[in-house]
Structure 1
Amino acid sequence: MADIADFANDLVQDRLDQALAARNAAKPVLAAHSFLFCVSCDDPIPEARRLALLGCDLCVICQSVVESREVRHAR
């Protein structure tokens, strides 16, 4: 059974959601430039990756290699 506190929480959550949506809408669409080609191997970076990860400069394979090296050195 909902009481006044539940309604207040819902109202606050709605306002927070609206504020975050407005903030995200105000951000520039191209905050970072993604490279068309991998800086490591010169293979093309797929468009889906470039759009999903703004600012990416490595293909999936090279990124995996970098991350596996970081894991080994972190030990």
Structure 2
Amino acid sequence: MADNADRANDLVLERLDRTLAARMPAQPGRVVEECEECGDPIPFERVQALAKLECLRCVECQGYHERRVRG
């Protein structure tokens, strides 16, 4: 049986979840879980660091891609 403290805790957690969900920025760029070049998983930290940009390649493949594009 839940007591008042349990109900209060549930209410606080529910409000916190709603607040955090509302603060999550929309990511306009396309994001993938695996690198389009080599297929390695892209770390979540990299995706977060590029929150407003596309995240399609791992660090190594992105560096190679940028060098190749520059000529």
TM class by smaller structure: 0.5 to 0.7
- Residue identity over aligned pairs, in percent, reads 38
Q: Higher relative contact order by CA 8 Å / sep ≥ 6: 1 or 2?
A: 2
- TM-score, normalising length: structure 2: 0.54
Aligned mates of 2:27, 2:35 — CA distance in 1: 19
Structure number having the greater helix percentage: 1
Q: Establish whether residue 67 from structure 1 lines up as the match of residue 63 from structure 2.
A: no
CA RMSD of aligned residues (A): 2.3
Aligned length: 47
Aligned mates of 2:45, 2:59 — CA distance in 1: 11
Q: Which runs of 5+ in 2 are unaligned?
A: 1-24
Q: Which runs of 5+ in 1 are unaligned?
A: 1-27
Q: Establish whether residue 57 from structure 1 lines up as the match of residue 56 from structure 2.
A: yes
- TM-score, normalising length: structure 1: 0.52
